[in-house]
Amino acid sequence: MAQSMGVEKALAGGQRALYAVGERVSGTAGLREVLEETLRRVIDLLRADAGAIFVVEEAARELVLSASLGLSERFAAQEARLPIGTCMCGLSVEGADTLYVVEDVRVEPRCVIGNCIEDGFRSLLCLPLRAGGKVWGLLRLHGRKVGAFNRQRSSLLVFVGSQLGLAIQRTRLQEEIDQLLRRVEAERATLDSLMRSLVDGLVLVDADGQVAYWNPSAERYLGLSADVALGQRLEAILAHLCTIMQDPAEKLHDLRRALTDVASCPQVEFMVTSPAPRTLQARFLPVEGRHGLGIVLRDVTAERQLDEMKSQLLSTVSHELRTPLASIKGFATTLLRDDVQWEPAAQREFLQIIDQEADRLSELIDNLLAMSRLEAGVLRMDLGRVELAPLISEVVAGMELRARGHTLAADVPADLPEVWADDRRVRQVLHNLIDNALKYSSGGEVVVRARHEGDAVQVSVCDQGMGIPSDQLTRIFERFYQVEGAGKRRAGGAGLGLSICKGIVEAHGGRIWAESTPGLGSTFHFTLPVQPPPGKD
Ligand code: ADP
């Protein structure tokens, strides 16, 4: 009786101590520390001679040694990883028992005893570490004596086992959460850098109508920093848009419609004047899941300019083609009339007009072809040594007919060096410049000069016409650019000649520019190289 009282007292003391161990396990220390500390205390309390704690690695179906005490280095190294499903340890984590006690390893067929015997261990205790219906690890104790572990006393370990199981489970879950968070963070960072580097503006509006995302392109297009825009209500953003938008009343109506009913109005195009003049296309996309709205802002300025240019080209070209064609058709029909006998002089005059208009047509077509080749970067240059004096005389002579009411002359020194150029293209440039000089002056002199200047020859076409305002002297070389005013209407033209001259001269490595005094006249200069580039002779 007294003996059984003593045992109960001892049991109660052991239980308290093991509870204390179990409680420490649920503290906040790192897993390895917890395992080592618990192992040390359990070995102490159960007077074991050695012990080890393994953690289950599910993917590899292995037990990984995570803490050990009292094992020889050799033993610990050999049992660093144990397969699940073989030997006593590997089987115990698959079994249903809470505790496995082996009185004598030599008589237990499931034990692979080599290591135990070499280290002098005879008895064994295996405690699967369970939590949440799963085994997370294994605690193993070794005794040098046969029957070192009393099953009843050892059963107190079960509480420690479940606490350790919980600790491992918690660590594993924490690891998984950390991994997941790292992945989410990495994906968020990728997405964020993608959205930040988008050329398009991107705005997200949440279900409460507040701006939740505003990328740098949205800042650039709308002149509102993310700091200011984030958290603002859409109304405030629309109010800002009104201050920078063209036709705010009409566009605001469209924007509001898009914001309230995306399906009926999925995109709105509007022009802003600040921070830079742009045409923006806003596309509205419902954001799934967040019940908000995404707005993608695309800068379509260049596209719209191109559209505008195309239609301008079409209308000017068709107009320019129609005018000479109408003359040719008119005079040809007149000449062919059976009911009229034309005097030879009149016939000749009509034929001359037909000839001139056909020239105009072919010049226009030449210019259009040159322009499309320049645009495509495939203007073929047939470069060689060109004598400019006869070339200038020939072009001037060929245009004399057109120069009625003007004095057209060439003033070229006899000792002008040859230039390295494409004969046909230089004629085209000169032709365009003289044609302009005649078109934009109502009489007076048009003189073509040339002089040797350093390593180039400079050719100048000088007129006494209406002149060009100084602020437009460089713009006239842009495609389609025409100086506003009466001259433009009277002279017609497609606004292409000077841009083609510029392209051709620059393809030679030369320069073209204009000087002018409005009301008194203009001079256009261009240079051509005297020498070919090295190795091209
Ligand atoms: P186009 O003559 O077909 O309009 P160009 O490219 O040859 O096209 O010229 C562009 C514009 O430059 C002309 O529309 C005209 O306003 C101006 N310009 C060109 N040459 C002269 C000139 N000699 N005198 C005055 N204005 C000129």
DSSP secondary structure string for all residues of 332-360: HHHHH-TT----HHHHHHHHHHHHHHHHH
* Residues 343 and 402 both lie in one domain: no
Please choose from 436, 470, 512 the residue to mutate so as to test ligand 1's pocket, defined by most ligand atoms within 8 A of CB: 436
* Residues 30 and 71 both lie in one domain: yes
CA distance 522 to 483: 13
* Residues 68 and 147 both lie in one domain: yes
pLDDT at residue number 290: 63
Please choose from 316, 360, 367, 482 the residue to mutate so as to test ligand 1's pocket, defined by most ligand atoms within 8 A of CB: 482
- In short, whether 40's Cβ falls inside 6 Å of ligand 1 is no
Cβ 409 vs Cβ 448: under 8 Å: yes
Q: Is residue 191 part of a domain?
A: no
Q: Is residue 534 part of a domain?
A: no
- In short, whether 436's Cβ falls inside 6 Å of ligand 1 is yes
Domain boundary among 343, 359, 376: 376
pLDDT at 490 over 70: no
Q: Which atom of ligand 1 is nearest to the CA of 498?
A: 6
- In short, whether 521's Cβ falls inside 6 Å of ligand 1 is no
* Residues 31 and 169 both lie in one domain: yes
Cβ 25 vs Cβ 136: under 8 Å: no
Question: Average pLDDT for residues 108-118, to the nearest whole number?
Answer: 84
Cβ 500 vs Cβ 432: under 8 Å: yes
Closest listed residue to residue 32, CA positions, set 60, 59, 63, 68: 68
* Residues 341 and 464 both lie in one domain: no
- In short, whether 408's Cβ falls inside 6 Å of ligand 1 is no
pLDDT at 71 over 90: yes
Question: Average pLDDT for residues 160-176, to the nearest whole number?
Answer: 89
Q: Given strand 278-287, what is the order of strands in its sheet?
A: 211-214, 201-205, 292-299, 278-287, 267-272
Token pair in block for residue 33? 């520390």
Q: Is residue 189 part of a domain?
A: no
pLDDT at residue number 66: 94
* Residues 209 and 332 both lie in one domain: no
pLDDT at 23 over 80: no
Q: Which range is least confidently modeled, 226-230, 289-293, 294-298, 378-382?
A: 289-293
* Residues 15 and 159 both lie in one domain: yes
Token pair in block for residue 124? 């064994």
- In short, whether 528's Cβ falls inside 6 Å of ligand 1 is no
**How many Å lie between the centroid of ligand 1 and the Cα of residue 439?**
8
* Residues 161 and 45 both lie in one domain: yes
Please provide the DSSP assignment of 390-426 as one string.
Answer: HHHHHHHHHHTGGGTTEEEEEE--TTPPPEEE-HHHH
pLDDT in tens, 290-329: 668 899 999 999 999 888 878 877 777 787 788 889 989 9
Q: Is residue 187 part of a domain?
A: no
pLDDT at residue number 187: 93
Q: Is residue 138 part of a domain?
A: yes
pLDDT at 4 over 50: no
Cβ 475 vs Cβ 437: under 8 Å: no
Q: Which atom of ligand 1 is nearest to the CA of 524?
A: 23
* Residues 430 and 485 both lie in one domain: yes
pLDDT at 415 over 80: yes
Q: Which atom of ligand 1 is nearest to the CA of 477?
A: 6
Q: Which range is least confidently modeled, 164-178, 304-318, 499-513, 522-536?
A: 304-318
Between 421 and 492, residue with greater pLDDT: 421
**How many Å lie between the centroid of ligand 1 and the Cα of residue 511?**
18
- In short, whether 330's Cβ falls inside 6 Å of ligand 1 is no
Question: Average pLDDT for residues 32-45, to the nearest whole number?
Answer: 91
Q: What separation, in Å, do the N-terminal and C-terminal C-alpha atoms of the chain show?
A: 125
pLDDT at residue number 25: 59
Question: Average pLDDT for residues 349-365, to the nearest whole number?
Answer: 88
* Residues 161, 163, 165: CA angle, nearest 5 degrees: 70
Strand partners, 521: 517
Question: Average pLDDT for residues 164-187, to the nearest whole number?
Answer: 91
Q: What's the full length of the chain, in residues? A: 537
Q: What mean pLDDT value characterizes the chain?
A: 88
Domain region containing 347: 304-376
Confidence of residue 111 (pLDDT cuts 50, 70, 90): confident
Q: Whose CA is nearest to atom 3 of ligand 1?
A: 493
Look-up: residue for tokens 């002098």? 120
Domain boundary among 143, 175, 207: 175
**How many Å lie between the centroid of ligand 1 and the Cα of residue 495?**
7
Sequence letter at residue 211: V
Between 307 and 146, residue with greater pLDDT: 146
Question: Average pLDDT for residues 441-461, to the nearest whole number?
Answer: 95
Rounded to 10°, the helix 301-336/344-376 angle is: 160
β-strand pairing of 81-83 with 100-102 = unpaired
Q: Is residue 328 part of a domain?
A: yes
**How many Å lie between the centroid of ligand 1 and the Cα of residue 525?**
14
Please choose from 365, 371, 440, 501 the residue to mutate so as to test ligand 1's pocket, defined by most ligand atoms within 8 A of CB: 440
Closest listed residue to residue 31, CA positions, set 177, 167, 174: 167
pLDDT at residue number 414: 87
Q: Is residue 184 part of a domain?
A: no
* Total domains, the chain: 4
Strand partners, 266: none
Cβ 128 vs Cβ 92: under 8 Å: yes
* Residues 286 and 337 both lie in one domain: no
Cβ 531 vs Cβ 455: under 8 Å: yes
pLDDT at 5 over 50: no
Question: Average pLDDT for residues 273-284, to the nearest whole number?
Answer: 94
Q: Is residue 425 part of a domain?
A: yes
Between 151 and 516, residue with greater pLDDT: 516
pLDDT at 3 over 50: no
Gyration radius of the chain over CA positions:
48
- In short, whether 154's Cβ falls inside 6 Å of ligand 1 is no
Task: Please tell me the chain's helix, strand, coil percentages from 3-state DSSP, rounded to the nearest 5.
Answer: 50, 25, 30
Token pair in block for residue 387? 């004598």
pLDDT at 2 over 50: no
pLDDT at residue number 1: 41
Confidence of residue 151 (pLDDT cuts 50, 70, 90): confident
- CATH number of the domain that 25 lies in? 3.30.450.40
Domain boundary among 299, 332, 356: 299
CA distance 253 to 515: 49
* Residues 63 and 87 both lie in one domain: yes
- CATH number of the domain that 318 lies in? 1.10.287.130
* Residues 391 and 517 both lie in one domain: yes
